[in-house]
Amino acid sequence: MDTLLKAIAEPKRRDIIRLVWARELAAAEIAEYFPDVTRSAISQHLTVLRKNGVIHERREGTRRLYSVNRGEIIKLRAFLDSFWSDSLERLRDIAEVSELQKRAS
C-alpha cells in the first residue's frame, strides 16, 4: 500500500489517473494535457504509475495506450475507507457508553 500511496502522491500523477479513468489514452494524448511538462517527464510519471500497478499499458503497434487499473484503486479505496469505518465504530461505541452512563445516573 505504501508504494501505491507514494505513486499517487504527486499531483501530476493524480491528474493522469483522472485522464485515463474513463478511457484509454496514448502517451502522446496524455502529454497534450500538460503543455507545461516535457514529454519525458510525462513518460516518467507513466512509468511510476505502471510499475506500481496503478495503470495498465497496452501496446498497439508503436503506440502505448494507458488505462486505470481499477483493481488497485479499489484496494486503495478499501484501505482509506477502513479509517472512516473504524472512526465511526469508535464514535458509536463512545455514544453507547455515554448513553448507558446517563441511564445509570
pLDDT tens-digit profile of 41-77?
Answer: 999 999 999 999 999 999 999 999 999 999 998 898 8
**Residue 83 half-sphere exposure toward CB, CA atoms < 13 A:** 4
CATH at 53: 1.10.10.10
| Cα 54-55-57 angle, rounded to 5 deg | 150
Say what the pLDDT of residue 80 is: 83
Range of the domain at 57: 2-104
Q: Rounded to two decimals, what is the model's pTM? A: 0.76
55 or 2: which leads in pLDDT: 55
Per the structure, the count of domains in the chain is 1
Q: How far apart are CA 1 and CA 6, in angstroms?
A: 9
